[in-house]
Structure 1
Amino acid sequence: MRGSTAGIAENFKIGGTAYHLLLSVMDSIFSAVVVAPLVVGYWRSVWELMNIYVYPDDKLLSALISTIIGICGHLFFDIAQGFFTKRFHPDKNRIIYYVVSRAYTVAFAFVCVNGWKGPWNLLDQYTDPKDLTVVVVPFVIGIIALAVLRTLRNVSAPPFAIATDHVEEYFVVMTMFRIKMAEKTTLYVLDCIFSVLVVGTLVVFVWRGAWVLLDDFLFPESASLSAWCSLVIGYLAVGLAFLLQPVMRWVCDRLQGGLRLIAADIFLLFSLFGTVNVWRGIWTLLNLYFLPDNQEISCWITHWICLILLVLLGCSNSLLVRGVYIDAEEPAGKCVIFPCYYLRLIFQQERAKKIAKRLQLDILAKRKQDIDNNIADINHMVHEKQPNNHVV
């Protein structure tokens, strides 16, 4: 029994397999149960408040205003990322950095929600959600185009991604072709425009198509039953996707080129199915059960609660849909690992602090030993040079 217990304890040490497995499971649960509902609550609040306050009687004008906010805001934050990165850093002024970075996140999150709401509502205005043809066509075109561009992974969202509020690269926004402004300003601006207008719009097409298809086929006669089914189906799919990660990583480790890309994209589409269902379930249930007679107050409450909790948890960047990421960009099977790192980052940081402290103590101890040795050598030399005053 003693040997067995020692083996278990050894596994849970830093770097042990069971230790990492436990943290991975806890991160997945945290992302699915805490971060995802908070992000959905925030997006729902901003989306619905825009419907309430911005030309509620003119859906087309409201959609156009949201589209303009989304496009102009995304381009601004893409182009201005170098300015923010150079001017604001905790090493210069921690308080100013914290205030500016959180204000940046709040403003960018507002832009992101409008960047989706605008095109989504424009499609609603010019297409009939009940007409399967006009729903399926943009949906399929979006998936194919994103797959051809190798950008299908950009459909991912919480619970399959956590973006923490770490200092490193806080203001960085990845563009499609990875062009730097210092290299060629014109090409960089065109890269930003392509990333926002093409890739971003295609992602909205895919999400909107999946959402509307669920509206049409998942108990359309009962909003409540449809929402609960979406929530259950979504979390079952999310749990299965997390469980399949090791299998998919093993598969992608052994595939090369196009086959690895196809396997990764199929897995991404399955995770998208779970994500859309979770978002749709939470969103609709909030509309149905949380102060349904006063949606304005309901949205404001969820807005502030979700935003404050995400900031306090250090996950407010999970609200943002920014940057373009390339499919299967990581080596081997890492391309199918969901970036849900929260507790693992915390423990890693604590471990790094302990190691740094231990190294510092070791250095101080070595210096003290060197000083003691030098003092001992000096005393010994002085003792040897003293004259012998003994009288015989």
Structure 2
Amino acid sequence: MIEWLDTPLGQHRATLPSLYVFSQLILFFIYTNQDRLYDYFIQAESKFFSVIFLQCHTLVTALNYLIQWVSMWTLLDNYTTDDCILMLTISIASILAIIVLTGHSHDLVCSPFIISYDSIEYNVRIETSFITEKMNPFLLHILNYIFYEYIISLLSILAWRGTYKLLDDFLYPNNENMSAIMSLLIGYVLFFIIMYTQFFQNNIDLISTFIQSNYPLFIRNLRHICAFFSCVFLWRGYWILLDLHIATISFVHESPYTYYIIFIIISFIILSIMKTASSINGPMSHINDEYDLFPLYSNCFLVKWFNGKQKSNELPSNLKNMTDIKPFVITSF
């Protein structure tokens, strides 16, 4: 899409607003028809058709979010200042605004922290943070759509854009390879620290009774913000490396549209086979982690895997009519 925006048609001043409006119309349709679609999937007789349709739904949603972000990001690049200090100030203000509006900064975090599992349970109905008792479902979906796809989405883009600009200007600006490597290194260090210590979140809260009593969401939001920075580092690092070493390959450079479409299709097929294609968007509904392994960033792919292993471990015991069933433990991973 970035390549296409460099063409005369892509550079037309009406193109970006039109793309943004188009993506928002599709998202509006997805929001307002989610209940019908969910009921259709549940009642469908052909499971194979349901799986194919679900993947198509995931792909359409992912492409629309891509169009939404690229068009808005490019509009901001074209019509707003590129002053790093001002952009960083706006980024910080956007993060604070998201916390004020939602009570947390979780919406800034994406893959690799948020890993979804392709299922009707997680990827059709869109959860809301509003109290919805006795509210018309259609009006609720519209309210949810306006809140997330206009307000939270714009604030998220502003937060990402300012942070990205800061790294462009101060992290080896004259050496793109080194900048990308350092981005990945810092991003992965943050990722492993945050992702695999979240289990101890409750213990940290108990250590500081004052923080737990007076600012119960402080440490949680601090982790979310660190996870957000990790995501920016990782995405930026891979993006730069792809631009430097994949986009410059002769056959890709000569026919960028063809090969980018091929790359999209191949990547989506691989993710679909792994049942994680919906991770492009993130799960639309809350993931219940029965084992409380990932209290902040639930990995429903691993939760499903654990459930499958637990059932397979319990099956022989049931066949033998054994009453002493050993609990499932993580060491079987």
Q: Deviations over 1:165-213 (max 9, x none)?
A: 1242431111341538973533442232122111121111111111111
1:145 to 2:97 alignment: yes
1:261 to 2:217 alignment: yes
Report the counterpart of residue 388 of structure 1 in structure 2.
none
Change (3 A) 1:65 1:257: farther
Which of residues 118, 127, 142 is equivalent to 1:189? 142
Which of residues 36, 44, 56 is equivalent to 2:10? 56
Report the counterpart of residue 272 of structure 2 in structure 1.
311
- Whichever residue aligns with residue 270 of structure 1, its letter is C
Q: Is the CA contact 2:122–2:285 (under 8 Å) kept in the aligned structure 1?
A: no
Deviation at 1:119, TM superposition (A): 1.7
How many residue pairs match? The answer is 310
1:100 to 2:100 alignment: no
Deviation at 1:344, TM superposition (A): 4.2
Which of residues 295, 305, 309 is equivalent to 1:350? 309
Q: Is the CA contact 1:135–1:212 (under 8 Å) kept in the aligned structure 2?
A: yes
Q: Is the CA contact 2:84–2:165 (under 8 Å) kept in the aligned structure 1?
A: no
How far apart, CA to CA, are the structure 2 residues paired with 1:199 and 1:107? 20
Deviation at 1:321, TM superposition (A): 4.9
Change (3 A) 1:361 1:246: closer
How far apart, CA to CA, are the structure 2 residues paired with 1:115 and 1:72? 11
How far apart, CA to CA, are the structure 2 residues paired with 1:94 and 1:191? 30
How far apart, CA to CA, are the structure 2 residues paired with 1:268 and 1:75? 28
Which of residues 161, 174, 181 is equivalent to 1:208? 161
Q: Is the CA contact 1:233–1:277 (under 8 Å) kept in the aligned structure 2?
A: yes
Deviation at 1:233, TM superposition (A): 1.6
Q: Is the CA contact 1:108–1:320 (under 8 Å) kept in the aligned structure 2?
A: yes
My pick for the range that moved more, 111-120 or 100-109, is 111-120
- Whichever residue aligns with residue 227 of structure 2, its letter is S
Report the counterpart of residue 246 of structure 2 in structure 1.
290
- Whichever residue aligns with residue 264 of structure 2, its letter is H
Q: Is the CA contact 1:135–1:209 (under 8 Å) kept in the aligned structure 2?
A: yes
Q: Deviations over 1:66-116 (max 9, x none)?
A: 321332222221111101101123762212211210110110010111121
Change (3 A) 1:362 1:195: same
For the pair shown, the structure with the greater C-alpha radius of gyration is 1
Q: Secondary structure at the match of 1:345?
A: helix
Report the counterpart of residue 30 of structure 1 in structure 2.
none
Report the counterpart of residue 120 of structure 1 in structure 2.
73
Report the counterpart of residue 111 of structure 1 in structure 2.
64
Write the mapping of 1:217-228 to structure 2, written as runs, cut at 5 A. 217-228=170-181
Change (3 A) 1:122 1:210: same
CA RMSD of aligned residues (A): 3.0
Unaligned runs of 5+ in 2: 323-333
Q: Is the CA contact 2:105–2:221 (under 8 Å) kept in the aligned structure 1?
A: yes
How far apart, CA to CA, are the structure 1 residues paired with 2:258 and 2:40? 38
Q: Is the CA contact 2:62–2:281 (under 8 Å) kept in the aligned structure 1?
A: yes
Report the counterpart of residue 33 of structure 2 in structure 1.
80
Q: Is the CA contact 2:20–2:68 (under 8 Å) kept in the aligned structure 1?
A: yes
TM-score (normalised: structure 1)? 0.70
My pick for the range that moved more, 120-129 or 165-174, is 165-174
Unaligned runs of 5+ in 1: 1-46, 364-392
TM-score (normalised: structure 2)? 0.82
Q: Deviations over 1:222-274 (max 9, x none)?
A: 22222222112211221222343244342235654652211111111111111
Change (3 A) 1:323 1:351: closer
